[in-house]
Amino acid sequence: MVQETGKFGIVVSQYFRNYYRSRSFYLMLVISLLISGLMTYFSLKYIGNLHVTFGGVSFSSLSSSLKESAVLYLWAFVLSYLPVFSAVFFGSPAISSEIENKTAYHIFPLPIKRSTLLFGKFTAAVAVSYIIVSIYTIFEIISYVILFGSFPGIVFLYSYLLLLLFIISITAFTFLVSSIFNKNMYAYITVFLLYYLIFNALYIILDFLYNYNAFFLLSEAASIIERVFIDINTTVPGSATISLNGAGSGPIGIAAIVMVIYAVISIAGSLILFDRKEVK
Amino acid sequence: MASVDVKGVSKNYGNITALKNVSLSLDTNGCIGILGPNGAGKTTLMKLITNIIKPSTGEILVNGTNVSNDPSTALRTVGSIIEQPEFYTYLTAYETMMFVCRIKGGTKEYCMSEIDRVSEITEVKGFLNRKTGTYSRGMKQRLALAVALINNPDVIVLDEPTFGLDPKGMSDIRNALNRIREQRNSIIILSTHLISEVKELCDRVIIMDEGSIVYDSEVDSVDKSLRVRFYEVPADGLNSIANEPVIEDGGKTAIFRVGKEVPNYMIIRDLMSRGAKIRDVEESSGIEEKYLEIVGRGKD
């Protein structure tokens, strides 16, 4: 007899197959390749003009390590949008589509725990998002090697690991939103509104009115992916400061904890909601 | 021997009660037909048995295991078609069936032979490797039946399996169901609007109305005992035949409804003695009579 752990593997492979054959996956693939191509072009062609971004300091006059950090920062800055779009495409309809598309009639009567179904689908969604961002990361590494003649160092690895953690937490967050609704469109819109409007509005209000850094927002925690290279600190209202050093272990730890908390709470919430989900 | 026990189950949606304290015990292999008008609670009962929804009160046991508490065990030997199921559009029928079979505990080799067996019965062999997103309604319904039959379930729950199909599709599904029924290896619970389907496929009939079971009997006994005939004869001032009054007077023709207890020869003798000729005779099934008596003629 197949145990629940065995069923988990079967569920993951089933949903992974359904995801990577979907139009959403190919759309994200195209977007990832397009952004990767643009960033590669930018890196190789206009690398000498980076002083525009770095406060008038000529890029050629920067130290070697700072140049490397600057390039990786820019790649990571652009990258931070990709997991969000990927999670929206794969996570937002994850639960709601089972109801809207009536596939719930096919899977709910199966002899499997809803938690196994949810974790299996979640794992598959995270895996396809990893593929999407990994394509970008491969382009990033190639560009880096061409520019600097070596592979990026340990900080790049930190950034990549934080990126993987962010994908888990943002996907979990979209699963939670998806499990609230029975219509995909509501889930899509809600995720976008929460992440890009509500989170940003909260950040600005707390920063400008109360001089408080909203470190607990997922969008703020996600900024650590690029801040490990160059730490742009906006804790002082209206006067963002730039530290040319990367964020230290303190901010990295806090951001990682925030992302883990989002992931755990979101998955727990979606599990409770999915377990109670009924097709009326 | 498989069993399904529905014990005092109610289901409420807010203020609306879809099912009222329903109890039902099924422990004999064969087909149980569930009839009822729209809103009678048939689909709600099917969804409860298959864990798509959970009861507000009461419990449902399949082979002695509570469906809500332990679906992994209870539903291992249950196959179902509920409403008009959809499948993951980017997977093929083969992958869909393999997934269900493996979740139900089959090994890869066993599942391959099972897919072969059920696709033969349901005639899905021709499109096994096509993605289900390209399927017509009829193809999806056949696949749904194939999925329901995989791993030889003890209990097969079918909610209007021929709904929305053309006559050929309906006939194909019924033939497949007949083949399964004849094997008598499982309890088939068939919810339908079609009395003819129950007559053709089932051994037992349950009629539901307003969330309750209002009738439960063997198909053969109710069909024979309640069968009636309708005689259409020229009106010619006839008010009754064999003491049965006219039920419909169309001016030129009159229709009489005669119960099974009045033998045919009495009718013919009575009409001949009055010089009347029979234009048409129709026999209705006893199930139909019972159904109409319970849910009301003209309703649904």
Residue with more model confidence, A180 or A65: A180
| A:92-121 residues touching chain B, CB 8 A cutoff | 101-106, 108-113
Chain B residues closer than 8 Å to A21 by CB: 90-91, 131
CA pair distance A244, A233, nearest whole angstrom: 10
CA distance B211 to B226: 24
Which residue type is seen at B300?
D
Q: What is the pLDDT of residue A85?
A: 92
> What SS3 class is residue A2?
coil
Is residue A48 over pLDDT 70? Answer: no
- Residue B6 distance to chain A (closest CA, Å): 17
| A52, pLDDT greater than 80 | no
CB A5 within 8 A of CB A120: no
Of residues A179 and B276, the one with the higher pLDDT is A179
The shortest CB-CB distance from B102 to any of A2, A17, A106 is to A2
Q: Cα(B281)–Cα(B256) distance, rounded to whole angstroms?
A: 10
Cβ of A17 and B95 within 8 Å? yes
Interface of A with B in 147-186 (CB under 8 A): none
How much is the pTM?
0.87
Q: Which residues lie below 8 Å from residue B161, measured CB to CB, with a gap of 6+?
A: B81, B141, B144, B145, B173, B177, B190, B192
Cβ-Cβ contacts under 8 Å for A62 (sequence gap 6 or more): A54, A70
d(CA A46, CA A70): 13
- Contact residues on chain B for A111, CB-CB shorter than 8 A: 71-76, 78, 103-105
Q: What is the mean pLDDT of residues A42-62?
A: 64
Contact state of A106 with B86 under an 8 Å Cβ cutoff:
yes
What's B8's DSSP letter? Answer: E
Which pair of tokens denotes residue B37? 């008008």
pLDDT-derived band of residue A237, with 50, 70 and 90 as boundaries? very low
Instruction: Identify the band that residue A117 occupies on the pLDDT scale cut at 50, 70 and 90.
Output: very high
Chain A residues touching B103 at Cβ < 8 A: 2, 7, 10-11, 110-112
Q: In this predicted model, which residue has the larger pLDDT, B159 or B238? A: B159
User: Smallest Cα–Cα separation from B72: which of A219, A11, A29?
Assistant: A11
Taking an 8 Å cut-off on Cβ atoms, the answer to whether A2 and B51 are in contact is: no
Put simply, the answer to whether A279 touches B73 (Cβ < 8 Å) is no
- Interface of chain B against chain A, CB under 8 Å? 13, 47, 50-54, 71-76, 78, 80, 82-91, 95-96, 99-100, 102-106, 131, 144, 147, 157
Q: Cα torsion at A44, A49, A54, A57 (round to 10°)?
A: 120
User: What value of ipTM does the predicted structure carry?
Assistant: 0.86
Tell me: pLDDT of B42 over 70. Answer: yes
Instruction: Count Cβ–Cβ pairs < 8 Å, chain A vs chain B.
Output: 89
- Of the candidates B90, B100, B106, the beta carbon closest to that of A110 is on B100
Cβ atoms of B35 and B195 within 8 Å: the answer is yes
Buried b (16+ CB within 10 A) or exposed e, A73-104: bbbbbbbbebbbbbbbbbbbbbbbbbbbbbbb
Q: What is the CA radius of gyration of chain B?
A: 23
Q: What is the pLDDT of residues B75-116, one digit of tens each?
A: 999 999 998 889 999 999 999 999 999 999 999 999 999 999
Q: Give the minimum alpha-carbon distance from A279 to chain B in angstroms, rounded to a whole number.
A: 6
* All domains in chain B, ordered by first residue: 4-220 (3.40.50.300), 223-284 (no CATH)
Supply the pLDDT for residue A262: 97
A236 — pLDDT class (breaks 50, 70, 90) = very low
The residue of chain A nearest to residue B90, with distances taken between CA atoms, is A18
Q: Give domain limits for chain A.
A: 2-275
> For residue B137, what pLDDT is reported?
87
Q: Tokens for B142?
A: 């056949």
Q: Do the beta carbons of residue B233 and residue B282 sit within 8 Å?
A: no
